[in-house]
Structure 1
Amino acid sequence: MPTVFDQFTHRTTDVTAQLAALDIPLTTPARPPADLNPADPWASNYTAPVNRSTLAWCTAATMLADHHHTGIDRQVLAADALLRELGVRGLAQLHSDFCAGAPIDYRFTPCPYCSGIGEDPTQPACEEVGCAPWLEFAGHDHPCPVCHGDDYQPQWIAEERMTELEELLADAIEERERRASLRYRIRARLYTGRRAPNGPTGDGTPR
Protein backbone atom coordinates (compact mmCIF):
# COMPACT_ATOMS: atom_id res chain seq x y z
CA MET A 1 0.00 0.00 0.00
CA PRO A 2 1.53 3.36 -1.01
CA THR A 3 2.51 5.74 1.78
CA VAL A 4 2.35 9.53 1.84
CA PHE A 5 6.09 9.63 1.17
CA ASP A 6 5.66 7.76 -2.11
CA GLN A 7 4.46 10.98 -3.76
CA PHE A 8 7.91 12.49 -3.30
CA THR A 9 9.55 9.49 -4.96
CA HIS A 10 7.10 9.81 -7.85
CA ARG A 11 7.86 13.52 -8.22
CA THR A 12 11.60 12.86 -8.43
CA THR A 13 11.16 9.90 -10.76
CA ASP A 14 8.92 11.87 -13.11
CA VAL A 15 11.29 14.84 -13.40
CA THR A 16 14.46 12.79 -13.76
CA ALA A 17 12.76 10.66 -16.41
CA GLN A 18 11.95 13.82 -18.38
CA LEU A 19 15.56 14.97 -18.07
CA ALA A 20 16.84 11.61 -19.25
CA ALA A 21 14.47 11.67 -22.23
CA LEU A 22 15.82 15.11 -23.16
CA ASP A 23 19.43 13.95 -22.67
CA ILE A 24 19.99 16.52 -19.91
CA PRO A 25 22.59 15.37 -17.34
CA LEU A 26 21.41 14.85 -13.77
CA THR A 27 24.44 16.63 -12.37
CA THR A 28 25.76 19.95 -13.55
CA PRO A 29 29.46 19.91 -14.33
CA ALA A 30 31.59 21.79 -11.84
CA ARG A 31 32.65 25.12 -13.28
CA PRO A 32 36.26 26.26 -13.05
CA PRO A 33 36.76 29.03 -10.50
CA ALA A 34 36.41 32.44 -12.08
CA ASP A 35 38.77 35.33 -11.41
CA LEU A 36 36.66 37.78 -9.47
CA ASN A 37 36.75 41.39 -10.53
CA PRO A 38 36.69 43.54 -7.36
CA ALA A 39 35.15 46.35 -9.40
CA ASP A 40 32.17 44.17 -10.35
CA PRO A 41 29.80 43.80 -7.36
CA TRP A 42 27.71 41.28 -9.32
CA ALA A 43 30.57 38.92 -10.10
CA SER A 44 30.36 35.41 -8.69
CA ASN A 45 32.32 32.21 -8.79
CA TYR A 46 29.75 29.53 -8.00
CA THR A 47 31.48 26.25 -8.70
CA ALA A 48 29.48 23.73 -6.69
CA PRO A 49 27.72 21.19 -8.90
CA VAL A 50 23.96 20.83 -8.59
CA ASN A 51 22.32 17.45 -8.20
CA ARG A 52 19.23 17.53 -10.41
CA SER A 53 17.88 14.30 -8.98
CA THR A 54 17.18 15.74 -5.52
CA LEU A 55 13.62 16.38 -4.39
CA ALA A 56 14.39 20.08 -3.89
CA TRP A 57 15.67 20.54 -7.45
CA CYS A 58 12.80 18.54 -8.95
CA THR A 59 10.34 20.62 -6.91
CA ALA A 60 11.92 23.89 -8.08
CA ALA A 61 11.92 22.82 -11.73
CA THR A 62 8.30 21.67 -11.48
CA MET A 63 7.19 24.93 -9.82
CA LEU A 64 8.95 27.00 -12.47
CA ALA A 65 7.61 24.94 -15.37
CA ASP A 66 4.05 25.00 -14.04
CA HIS A 67 4.15 28.73 -13.34
CA HIS A 68 5.57 29.67 -16.73
CA HIS A 69 3.66 26.98 -18.64
CA THR A 70 6.81 25.56 -20.19
CA GLY A 71 8.60 22.23 -20.30
CA ILE A 72 11.09 21.21 -17.62
CA ASP A 73 13.96 21.74 -20.08
CA ARG A 74 13.24 25.50 -20.25
CA GLN A 75 13.66 25.85 -16.48
CA VAL A 76 16.78 23.78 -15.85
CA LEU A 77 19.17 26.72 -15.51
CA ALA A 78 16.73 28.68 -13.34
CA ALA A 79 16.36 25.73 -10.97
CA ASP A 80 20.16 25.34 -10.92
CA ALA A 81 20.61 28.99 -9.94
CA LEU A 82 17.95 28.85 -7.23
CA LEU A 83 19.43 25.80 -5.53
CA ARG A 84 22.99 27.13 -5.80
CA GLU A 85 22.15 30.48 -4.27
CA LEU A 86 19.39 29.77 -1.77
CA GLY A 87 19.22 26.01 -1.29
CA VAL A 88 16.04 24.25 -0.24
CA ARG A 89 14.75 27.31 1.61
CA GLY A 90 14.78 29.13 -1.71
CA LEU A 91 11.60 27.25 -2.59
CA ALA A 92 9.72 29.42 -0.09
CA GLN A 93 11.16 32.56 -1.72
CA LEU A 94 10.22 31.25 -5.16
CA HIS A 95 6.68 30.50 -4.00
CA SER A 96 6.37 34.00 -2.56
CA ASP A 97 7.73 35.55 -5.77
CA PHE A 98 5.03 33.77 -7.75
CA CYS A 99 2.47 35.53 -5.54
CA ALA A 100 3.95 38.99 -6.21
CA GLY A 101 6.02 38.86 -3.04
CA ALA A 102 3.09 38.20 -0.71
CA PRO A 103 3.74 36.01 2.33
CA ILE A 104 2.40 32.48 1.99
CA ASP A 105 0.21 31.03 4.73
CA TYR A 106 1.15 27.36 4.65
CA ARG A 107 -1.69 26.51 7.01
CA PHE A 108 -4.02 27.30 4.12
CA THR A 109 -1.79 26.71 1.08
CA PRO A 110 -0.03 23.35 0.61
CA CYS A 111 3.73 23.59 0.84
CA PRO A 112 5.31 22.88 -2.56
CA TYR A 113 8.10 20.84 -0.97
CA CYS A 114 6.43 18.68 1.69
CA SER A 115 2.87 18.91 0.28
CA GLY A 116 1.53 19.92 3.67
CA ILE A 117 2.83 17.13 5.93
CA GLY A 118 5.00 19.61 7.83
CA GLU A 119 8.05 17.34 7.96
CA ASP A 120 11.16 17.28 5.83
CA PRO A 121 10.14 14.75 3.16
CA THR A 122 13.72 13.57 2.68
CA GLN A 123 13.79 12.36 6.31
CA PRO A 124 17.38 13.50 6.85
CA ALA A 125 19.62 12.21 9.59
CA CYS A 126 20.31 14.53 12.50
CA GLU A 127 23.93 15.06 11.49
CA GLU A 128 22.80 16.23 8.03
CA VAL A 129 20.72 19.09 9.41
CA GLY A 130 22.92 19.87 12.40
CA CYS A 131 20.72 18.74 15.27
CA ALA A 132 22.15 19.01 18.76
CA PRO A 133 23.91 15.79 19.83
CA TRP A 134 21.41 15.11 22.62
CA LEU A 135 18.55 15.08 20.12
CA GLU A 136 20.00 12.46 17.80
CA PHE A 137 18.46 9.57 19.73
CA ALA A 138 15.23 11.31 20.76
CA GLY A 139 13.31 10.33 17.64
CA HIS A 140 12.23 13.92 17.03
CA ASP A 141 10.83 15.13 13.71
CA HIS A 142 12.68 17.42 11.34
CA PRO A 143 10.34 20.25 10.29
CA CYS A 144 10.04 21.07 6.62
CA PRO A 145 12.67 23.71 5.77
CA VAL A 146 10.18 25.52 3.51
CA CYS A 147 6.98 25.79 5.57
CA HIS A 148 8.73 25.23 8.94
CA GLY A 149 6.21 22.62 10.00
CA ASP A 150 3.04 24.69 9.64
CA ASP A 151 -0.03 22.54 10.16
CA TYR A 152 -1.84 22.42 6.82
CA GLN A 153 -5.53 22.33 7.78
CA PRO A 154 -7.45 24.44 5.26
CA GLN A 155 -10.81 23.25 6.54
CA TRP A 156 -10.12 24.89 9.92
CA ILE A 157 -8.24 27.88 8.60
CA ALA A 158 -11.00 28.61 6.08
CA GLU A 159 -13.58 28.69 8.86
CA GLU A 160 -11.39 31.02 10.92
CA ARG A 161 -10.89 33.30 7.95
CA MET A 162 -14.63 33.41 7.23
CA THR A 163 -15.27 34.42 10.84
CA GLU A 164 -12.62 37.12 10.64
CA LEU A 165 -14.08 38.34 7.33
CA GLU A 166 -17.58 38.52 8.80
CA GLU A 167 -16.27 40.57 11.73
CA LEU A 168 -14.41 42.92 9.41
CA LEU A 169 -17.49 43.28 7.22
CA ALA A 170 -19.70 44.06 10.22
CA ASP A 171 -17.18 46.64 11.44
CA ALA A 172 -17.03 48.21 7.97
CA ILE A 173 -20.83 48.46 7.75
CA GLU A 174 -21.02 50.01 11.21
CA GLU A 175 -18.28 52.51 10.32
CA ARG A 176 -20.01 53.40 7.04
CA GLU A 177 -23.31 54.00 8.82
CA ARG A 178 -21.59 56.12 11.45
CA ARG A 179 -19.88 58.24 8.81
CA ALA A 180 -23.11 58.53 6.80
CA SER A 181 -24.94 59.77 9.90
CA LEU A 182 -22.17 62.27 10.60
CA ARG A 183 -22.24 63.55 7.01
CA TYR A 184 -26.05 63.90 7.23
CA ARG A 185 -25.81 65.99 10.41
CA ILE A 186 -23.09 68.19 8.92
CA ARG A 187 -25.13 68.77 5.74
CA ALA A 188 -28.24 69.50 7.78
CA ARG A 189 -26.42 72.13 9.85
CA LEU A 190 -24.85 73.71 6.80
CA TYR A 191 -28.21 73.77 5.04
CA THR A 192 -29.91 75.30 8.07
CA GLY A 193 -27.14 77.88 8.40
CA ARG A 194 -27.51 78.94 4.78
CA ARG A 195 -31.32 79.15 4.99
CA ALA A 196 -31.58 80.97 8.33
CA PRO A 197 -30.88 84.61 7.25
CA ASN A 198 -33.54 84.62 4.52
CA GLY A 199 -35.89 82.08 5.98
CA PRO A 200 -39.25 82.78 7.65
CA THR A 201 -39.48 83.91 11.26
CA GLY A 202 -41.32 82.01 13.88
CA ASP A 203 -44.63 83.71 13.00
CA GLY A 204 -44.34 82.92 9.31
CA THR A 205 -43.39 86.40 8.12
CA PRO A 206 -40.26 86.86 6.05
CA ARG A 207 -37.19 88.19 7.79
Structure 2
Amino acid sequence: MPTTVFDQFTRRTADVTAQLAALGIPLTAPAPPPADLNPADPWASNYTAPVDRTGLAWCTAVTMLADHHHTGIDRQVLAADALLRELGIRCLAQLHSDLHAGAPVDYRFTRCPYCSGIGEDPTQPTCGEVGCASWLEFAGHDHVCPVCHGEDFQPEWFAEERMTELEELLADAIEEREERASLRHRIRARLYHRTTRS
Protein backbone atom coordinates (compact mmCIF):
# COMPACT_ATOMS: atom_id res chain seq x y z
CA MET A 1 0.00 0.00 0.00
CA PRO A 2 1.62 3.30 -1.07
CA THR A 3 2.11 5.88 1.63
CA THR A 4 2.13 9.63 1.21
CA VAL A 5 4.30 12.13 3.02
CA PHE A 6 1.28 13.09 5.15
CA ASP A 7 1.00 9.53 6.49
CA GLN A 8 4.17 10.04 8.49
CA PHE A 9 2.53 12.81 10.54
CA THR A 10 -0.37 10.61 11.63
CA ARG A 11 2.10 7.78 12.26
CA ARG A 12 4.26 10.08 14.43
CA THR A 13 1.34 11.16 16.61
CA ALA A 14 -0.04 7.60 16.78
CA ASP A 15 3.34 6.21 17.90
CA VAL A 16 3.80 8.84 20.61
CA THR A 17 0.25 8.61 21.94
CA ALA A 18 0.52 4.80 22.02
CA GLN A 19 3.70 5.09 24.08
CA LEU A 20 2.05 7.58 26.43
CA ALA A 21 -0.95 5.29 26.88
CA ALA A 22 1.33 2.30 27.54
CA LEU A 23 3.23 4.31 30.17
CA GLY A 24 0.02 5.56 31.82
CA ILE A 25 0.77 9.23 31.06
CA PRO A 26 -2.37 11.33 30.48
CA LEU A 27 -2.88 12.73 26.98
CA THR A 28 -3.66 16.21 28.29
CA ALA A 29 -1.12 18.07 30.33
CA PRO A 30 -2.28 19.10 33.80
CA ALA A 31 -2.54 22.84 34.31
CA PRO A 32 0.34 24.32 36.31
CA PRO A 33 -0.48 25.82 39.70
CA PRO A 34 -1.79 29.37 39.35
CA ALA A 35 0.76 32.09 39.85
CA ASP A 36 0.29 34.63 42.61
CA LEU A 37 -1.28 37.80 41.27
CA ASN A 38 0.94 40.83 41.52
CA PRO A 39 -1.15 43.83 42.66
CA ALA A 40 1.54 46.17 41.30
CA ASP A 41 1.02 44.80 37.78
CA PRO A 42 -2.61 45.26 36.71
CA TRP A 43 -1.93 43.53 33.38
CA ALA A 44 -0.57 40.35 34.94
CA SER A 45 -2.42 37.16 34.23
CA ASN A 46 -2.21 33.60 35.46
CA TYR A 47 -3.63 32.18 32.22
CA THR A 48 -1.64 29.28 30.79
CA ALA A 49 -2.19 27.80 27.36
CA PRO A 50 -3.55 24.25 27.41
CA VAL A 51 -1.20 21.60 26.07
CA ASP A 52 -2.56 18.78 23.96
CA ARG A 53 -0.17 15.85 24.07
CA THR A 54 -1.79 14.29 21.01
CA GLY A 55 -0.98 17.27 18.76
CA LEU A 56 1.71 17.04 16.10
CA ALA A 57 3.75 19.89 17.60
CA TRP A 58 3.92 18.28 21.04
CA CYS A 59 4.72 14.84 19.59
CA THR A 60 7.49 16.40 17.49
CA ALA A 61 8.95 18.26 20.47
CA VAL A 62 8.99 15.22 22.76
CA THR A 63 10.50 13.07 20.00
CA MET A 64 13.24 15.64 19.30
CA LEU A 65 14.09 15.88 23.01
CA ALA A 66 14.09 12.11 23.51
CA ASP A 67 16.27 11.52 20.45
CA HIS A 68 18.74 14.23 21.44
CA HIS A 69 19.07 13.09 25.06
CA HIS A 70 18.91 9.35 24.20
CA THR A 71 16.09 8.78 26.67
CA GLY A 72 12.54 7.51 26.52
CA ILE A 73 9.76 10.00 25.88
CA ASP A 74 8.52 9.56 29.46
CA ARG A 75 11.61 11.48 30.66
CA GLN A 76 10.88 14.42 28.31
CA VAL A 77 7.12 14.86 28.81
CA LEU A 78 7.37 17.80 31.22
CA ALA A 79 10.02 19.53 29.08
CA ALA A 80 7.78 19.25 26.01
CA ASP A 81 4.84 20.61 28.04
CA ALA A 82 6.91 23.61 29.16
CA LEU A 83 8.14 24.32 25.63
CA LEU A 84 4.67 24.29 24.11
CA ARG A 85 3.26 26.45 26.93
CA GLU A 86 6.05 28.97 26.53
CA LEU A 87 6.20 29.48 22.77
CA GLY A 88 3.66 27.22 21.10
CA ILE A 89 4.69 25.73 17.77
CA ARG A 90 7.41 28.37 17.40
CA CYS A 91 9.29 26.52 20.15
CA LEU A 92 10.24 23.81 17.66
CA ALA A 93 12.44 26.20 15.66
CA GLN A 94 14.10 27.45 18.86
CA LEU A 95 14.53 23.90 20.15
CA HIS A 96 16.04 22.80 16.84
CA SER A 97 18.51 25.69 17.01
CA ASP A 98 19.35 24.93 20.66
CA LEU A 99 19.99 21.27 19.85
CA HIS A 100 22.45 22.45 17.17
CA ALA A 101 24.44 24.29 19.87
CA GLY A 102 22.61 27.56 19.26
CA ALA A 103 23.55 27.79 15.58
CA PRO A 104 20.83 28.93 13.20
CA VAL A 105 19.33 26.06 11.23
CA ASP A 106 19.24 26.42 7.46
CA TYR A 107 16.13 24.51 6.46
CA ARG A 108 17.25 24.44 2.83
CA PHE A 109 19.81 21.82 3.90
CA THR A 110 18.25 20.41 7.09
CA ARG A 111 14.84 18.75 7.00
CA CYS A 112 12.29 20.59 9.16
CA PRO A 113 11.33 18.43 12.17
CA TYR A 114 7.69 19.57 12.05
CA CYS A 115 6.71 19.48 8.37
CA SER A 116 9.51 17.13 7.21
CA GLY A 117 10.50 19.52 4.45
CA ILE A 118 7.18 20.01 2.64
CA GLY A 119 7.07 23.69 3.64
CA GLU A 120 3.39 23.72 4.62
CA ASP A 121 1.75 23.31 8.00
CA PRO A 122 0.74 19.62 8.12
CA THR A 123 -2.17 20.34 10.45
CA GLN A 124 -3.76 22.78 7.98
CA PRO A 125 -5.39 21.77 4.69
CA THR A 126 -3.04 22.04 1.71
CA CYS A 127 -3.31 24.80 -0.87
CA GLY A 128 -4.58 22.24 -3.37
CA GLU A 129 -7.36 21.10 -1.03
CA VAL A 130 -8.47 24.65 -0.23
CA GLY A 131 -7.98 25.89 -3.79
CA CYS A 132 -5.64 28.80 -3.08
CA ALA A 133 -4.69 31.04 -5.98
CA SER A 134 -1.16 30.51 -7.26
CA TRP A 135 -0.11 34.08 -6.40
CA LEU A 136 -0.90 33.45 -2.70
CA GLU A 137 2.14 31.18 -2.57
CA PHE A 138 4.28 34.33 -2.31
CA ALA A 139 1.91 36.32 -0.07
CA GLY A 140 2.66 34.50 3.20
CA HIS A 141 -0.74 32.93 3.78
CA ASP A 142 -1.70 30.57 6.62
CA HIS A 143 -0.56 27.28 5.10
CA VAL A 144 3.17 28.00 5.52
CA CYS A 145 4.99 25.87 8.10
CA PRO A 146 5.42 27.91 11.32
CA VAL A 147 8.82 26.32 12.00
CA CYS A 148 10.73 26.57 8.70
CA HIS A 149 8.46 29.28 7.21
CA GLY A 150 8.11 27.42 3.93
CA GLU A 151 11.84 27.13 3.25
CA ASP A 152 12.45 24.98 0.19
CA PHE A 153 14.29 21.83 1.33
CA GLN A 154 16.43 20.93 -1.68
CA PRO A 155 19.94 20.18 -0.48
CA GLU A 156 21.01 18.85 -3.89
CA TRP A 157 20.10 22.06 -5.71
CA PHE A 158 21.20 24.48 -3.01
CA ALA A 159 24.49 22.62 -2.52
CA GLU A 160 25.49 23.39 -6.12
CA GLU A 161 24.50 27.02 -5.63
CA ARG A 162 26.46 27.20 -2.37
CA MET A 163 29.54 25.62 -3.98
CA THR A 164 29.41 28.21 -6.78
CA GLU A 165 29.20 31.02 -4.20
CA LEU A 166 32.11 29.57 -2.23
CA GLU A 167 34.25 29.20 -5.36
CA GLU A 168 33.59 32.86 -6.23
CA LEU A 169 34.48 33.94 -2.68
CA LEU A 170 37.67 31.87 -2.79
CA ALA A 171 38.68 33.35 -6.15
CA ASP A 172 38.05 36.88 -4.81
CA ALA A 173 40.09 36.13 -1.68
CA ILE A 174 43.01 34.78 -3.73
CA GLU A 175 42.93 37.83 -6.01
CA GLU A 176 42.84 40.19 -3.03
CA ARG A 177 45.72 38.37 -1.39
CA GLU A 178 47.81 38.63 -4.54
CA GLU A 179 47.06 42.35 -4.76
CA ARG A 180 48.09 42.83 -1.13
CA ALA A 181 51.25 40.79 -1.68
CA SER A 182 52.10 42.91 -4.72
CA LEU A 183 51.50 46.11 -2.75
CA ARG A 184 53.64 44.87 0.14
CA HIS A 185 56.41 43.99 -2.32
CA ARG A 186 56.31 47.49 -3.90
CA ILE A 187 56.32 49.20 -0.48
CA ARG A 188 59.20 47.03 0.69
CA ALA A 189 61.16 47.76 -2.50
CA ARG A 190 60.68 51.55 -2.12
CA LEU A 191 61.69 51.46 1.52
CA TYR A 192 64.77 49.42 0.61
CA HIS A 193 65.77 51.91 -2.08
CA ARG A 194 65.34 54.83 0.34
CA THR A 195 67.53 53.24 2.99
CA THR A 196 70.25 52.35 0.46
CA ARG A 197 70.37 55.93 -0.92
CA SER A 198 70.77 57.55 2.49
Q: Which amino acid aligns with 1:28?
A: A
Residues 107-186 of structure 1 mapped to structure 2, 5 A cutoff:
107-124=108-125, 139-140=131-132, 142-186=143-187
Q: Which amino acid aligns with 2:91?
A: G
Q: Secondary structure at the match of 2:81?
A: helix
Identical columns (%)? 81
Q: Secondary structure at the match of 1:88?
A: helix
- Note if 1:96 corresponds to 2:97: yes
CA distance in 1, matches of 2:40, 2:94: 29
C-alpha offsets along residues 140-192 of structure 1, whole Å, 9 cap, x if unaligned? 38121211222211111111000000000100111111111111122222222
Q: Secondary structure at the match of 2:146?
A: coil
CA distance in 2, matches of 1:39, 1:78: 31
Which of 1 and 2 has greater Rg? 1
Q: Which amino acid aligns with 1:139?
A: G
CA distance in 2, matches of 1:10, 1:138: 23
CA distance in 1, matches of 2:67, 2:86: 21
- In the superposition, the TM-score normalised over structure 2's length comes to 0.81
- In the superposition, the TM-score normalised over structure 1's length comes to 0.78
Deviates most, 11-20 or 73-82 = 11-20
Q: Secondary structure at the match of 2:30?
A: coil
Residues 42-53 of structure 1 mapped to structure 2, 5 A cutoff:
45-53=46-54
2:196 is matched with 195
2:35 is matched with 34
Number of residue pairs the alignment of both structures matches: 185
Q: CA deviation at 1:80?
A: 0.6
C-alpha offsets along residues 37-86 of structure 1, whole Å, 9 cap, x if unaligned? 4679xx97354431111110010111122223332222211111111111
> Alpha carbons of 1:92 and 1:38: their partners in 2 closer, same or farther (altered >3 Å)?
farther
Deviates most, 80-89 or 137-146 = 137-146
Structure 1 regions of 5+ residues with no counterpart?
Answer: 126-134, 198-207
Give RMSD over aligned pairs.
2.6
Structure 2 regions of 5+ residues with no counterpart?
Answer: 133-141
CA distance in 2, matches of 1:15, 1:39: 43
CA contact (8 A) 2:48 2:85 kept: no
Q: Secondary structure at the match of 1:105?
A: coil
Q: CA deviation at 1:138?
A: 5.2
